[in-house]
């Protein structure tokens, strides 16, 4: 009983007094860095802190301990590397979440195949950059794919995929997965933070990273229209009803043409059968031969489609860029550079890193929503647009 009374009395003592007594302990026969580490350990143990709570600044801690600020920053840097703390630029130092797998690692999952070859394709390249960002976390982060390289994703049941998703501390979600809806529902139900690559719906305002495709294609179309192009072919992916970004591209093209659509200017929307160069080649060949429509401006949603259309136009004997201007959609395929095509310059690395940054922020702060991040797009001009058009495009994207 006496013991309990004493314990309650100690708890009522003003914390400033306790802190002052602790300073005497810290300053006795310990190196400054050891005193700083002990202070931080005791500080965290004396407070009911949660992940996302901010610590005192290094300057405040240094003043408390009577050590140099550089010593405190050195210890803080070490704890950041160990994943015990998180730094947010302009905001301070925060307590990191220490839950996760038995090893203490955060398990960051993604609904992609577990493959080494992640450098081909738009989504794969972004995923490769996201993986690099996870690896840069050092001992704090681990990356786990939901699927192995040998699995047929379509053959897996939703129940199996959901069971794997439950083991994650956070999810990066790519839209092409047939199990996406089940994954999202599981994350919401179990309170697992998640972030999409590209918006999941037209009304989405949070939890995704994307690029400003509407503005980019609006600028391109308007510039080509003002340069005298009159017959536009918009080569898109076959999922107009399922993809927000495909609709945004198309909306940008239509708005760029403006009120002259169907009058002095013409537009053909070409839905390709897939994403490959062969799909782009077949779609353009059919447009030229079967429909008899010869465009003077080709705007492709993806690089492989642009390369296929470029090949079909060349085989038809059409001069590029004299008779036809060709614009590729992402600017990452090797063939785009080899053929010197004008293309969008999408920030693939920034998108991958932003996916991880957003997810970690939600995990650390125990939130399930985060404002969407929409990144600007640039342009790389080449020989598939005229010199005048290239100059105008560069000016439009600088505006």
- Specify the CATH superfamily of domain 212-346+378-398: Response regulator (3.40.50.2300)
Specify the pLDDT at position 139: 58
In this predicted model, which residue has the larger pLDDT, 82 or 385?
385
Q: Which of 310, 327, 306, 322 is nearest to 382 (CA)?
A: 327
Per-residue pLDDT of 27-53, as tens digits, reads 444 688 888 888 877 766 554 444 456
Per-residue pLDDT of 110-119, as tens digits, reads 988 765 444 4
Contact status, residue 383 vs residue 206, Cβ threshold 8 Å = no
Percent of the chain with pLDDT over 90: 47
* Neighbouring residues of 310: CB distance < 8 A, sequence distance ≥ 6: 298, 320, 326, 339, 341, 384
Mean pLDDT of 246-260: 94
Residue 357 sits at the vertex; the CA angle it makes with 354 and 358, to the nearest 5 degrees, is 85
CATH match for 106-192 among 3.40.1350, 1.10.357, 3.30.70, 3.40.50: 3.40.50
What is the sign, positive or negative, of the torsion defined by CA atoms of 307, 313, 319, 323?
negative
Specify the pLDDT at position 285: 96
DSSP category for residue 371: B
Question: Which class in CATH covers the domain with range 2-49+58-95?
Answer: mainly alpha
Per-residue pLDDT of 180-220, as tens digits, reads 999 999 999 889 999 999 998 889 999 999 999 999 999 99
Query: How confident is residue 151, by pLDDT bands cut at 50, 70 and 90?
Result: confident
**Gap between the Cα atoms of 106 and 99, Å rounded:** 7
Task: List the domain boundaries for the chain.
Answer: 2-49+58-95, 106-192, 212-346+378-398
**pLDDT beyond 60 at 108:** yes
Domains 2-49+58-95 and 212-346+378-398 alike in fold: no
Per-residue pLDDT of 308-335, as tens digits, reads 999 999 999 999 999 999 999 988 888 9
Mean pLDDT of 63-75: 86
In this predicted model, which residue has the larger pLDDT, 100 or 377?
377
**Gap between the Cα atoms of 26 and 122, Å rounded:** 54
pTM over 0.85: no
Phi, psi at 295, each rounded to 5°: -75, 155
Mean pLDDT of 240-269: 91
């Amino acid at each position: 009983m006496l013991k309990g009374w004493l314990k309650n009395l100690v708890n009522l003592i003003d914390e400033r007094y306790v802190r002052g007594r602790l300073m005497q302990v810290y300053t006795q026969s310990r190196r400054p860095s050891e005193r700083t580490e002990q202070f931080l350990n005791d500080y965290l143990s004396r407070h009911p802190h949660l992940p996302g709570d901010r610590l005192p600044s290094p300057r405040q801690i240094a003043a408390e301990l009577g050590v140099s600020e550089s010593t405190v920053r050195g210890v803080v840097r070490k704890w950041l590397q160990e994943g015990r703390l998180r730094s947010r630029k302009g905001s301070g130092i925060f307590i990191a979440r220490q839950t996760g797998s038995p090893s203490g690692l955060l398990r960051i999952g993604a609904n992609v195949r577990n493959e080494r070859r992640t450098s081909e394709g738009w989504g794969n390249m972004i995923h490769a950059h996201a993986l690099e960002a996870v690896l840069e976390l050092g001992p704090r982060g681990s990356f786990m794919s939901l699927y192995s390289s040998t699995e047929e994703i379509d053959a897996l049941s939703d129940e199996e995929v959901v069971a794997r998703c439950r083991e994650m501390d956070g999810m990066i979600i790519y839209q092409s997965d047939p199990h996406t809806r089940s994954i999202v529902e599981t994350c919401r139900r179990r309170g697992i933070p998640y972030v999409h690559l590209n918006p999941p719906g037209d009304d989405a305002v949070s939890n995704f990273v994307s690029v400003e495709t509407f503005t980019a294609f609006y600028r391109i179309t308007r510039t080509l229209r003002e340069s005298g192009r009159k017959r536009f072919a918009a080569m898109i992916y076959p999922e107009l009803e399922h993809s927000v970004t495909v609709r945004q591209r198309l909306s940008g093209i239509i708005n760029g043409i403006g009120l002259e659509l169907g009058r002095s200017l013409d537009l053909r929307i070409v839905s390709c059968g897939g994403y490959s160069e062969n799909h782009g080649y077949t779609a353009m060949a059919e447009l030229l031969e079967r429909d008899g429509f010869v465009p003077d401006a080709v705007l492709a949603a993806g690089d492989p489609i642009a390369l296929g259309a470029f090949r079909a136009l060349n085989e038809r004997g059409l001069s590029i860029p004299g008779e036809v201007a060709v614009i590729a959609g992402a600017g990452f395929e090797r063939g785009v550079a080899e053929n010197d095509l004008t293309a969008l310059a999408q920030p693939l690395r920034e998108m991958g890193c932003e996916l991880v940054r957003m997810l970690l922020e939600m995990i650390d702060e125990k939130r399930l929503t985060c404002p969407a991040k929409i990144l600007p797009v640039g342009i790389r001009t080449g020989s598939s647009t005229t010199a005048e058009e290239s100059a105008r495009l560069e000016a439009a994207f600088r505006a």
